[in-house]
Amino acid sequence: MTTARETVLGRIRDALALAPVQDTTVRRAYRTGRSLPDDERLALFTDRLVDYKAQVHTCTADRTAQVVAEVLRERGAQRIGVPAGLDTAWLGAYDGEVQQDSAGIPAPRLDALDGVVTAAAVSCAETGTIFLDGSPDQGRRALSLVPDLHVCVVDLSTVETGVPEAVARLVPERPTTLISGPSATSDIELERVEGVHGPRTLAVVIRTDV
């Protein structure tokens, strides 16, 4: 018995076989090369993050551990998850339980964590968007989506002004997750509901001198 999936895929294959092969040039006339001074870029990025209801904390690199610990303490996070490649110095002031994530841990078990701490690949100031690309200090997608609290450490040097500039710094072959504030959606009456598709709380620690 043919399933609906097989029927649809079969029709797609037939259409591709009948369609003439044409080389198409995609015009990519994006506005690129934009930049802002550090203070303006930081102000814009912070404004967008706050508008998305994210918590924003700024610090110098030498205070990373203290600020991360303060954020976790304020949220009552006693047990957190971290990707295997995260800088352990960032957790030097945290006195709770730390669980290093691995592919062998089933995603549902991540729900037992109070939060997660990750780094970021690149960010966009104009849209307040943080890009994670699955690097060792960011971990798999499930790690940043299942726990209710995500503390993301962002270096100001990785914050680009616009989307084209940010995307240009990504590796196309890597799995990319885009984060613009905590997870939120609206019901039919436009009532905002947070935490449906990801963390209810996003705390961004911006290191201004890195």
Which residue pairs, CB below 8 angstroms and at least 24 apart, start in 73-80?
75/114, 75/115, 75/149, 75/201, 75/203, 76/114, 77/114, 77/115, 77/149, 78/114, 79/112, 79/113, 79/114, 80/113, 80/114, 80/115, 80/116, 80/117, 80/147
Residue 145 has which token pair? 């989506």
Give φ, ψ of 170 to 5 degrees: -85, 155
**182 CB-near residues (< 8 Å, 6+ apart):** 52, 53, 54, 150, 194, 195, 198, 199, 200, 201, 202
pTM of the model: 0.85
Quick one: pLDDT band at residue 1, thresholds 50, 70, 90? low
The helix or strand, by DSSP H or E, that contains position 155, with its residue range, turns out to be strand 149-155
Helix (H/G/I), strand (E/B), else coil: 126: coil
Q: Among 124, 107, 110, which Cα is nearest to 159's?
A: 124
What pLDDT does 24 receive? 85
Q: Are 180 and 125 in contact (CB under 8 A)?
A: no
Q: Which of 18-27, 126-135, 189-198, 201-210 has the lowest mean pLDDT?
A: 189-198
Phi, psi dihedral angles at 116 (to 5 degrees): -140, 145
| pLDDT surpassing 90 at residue 112 | yes
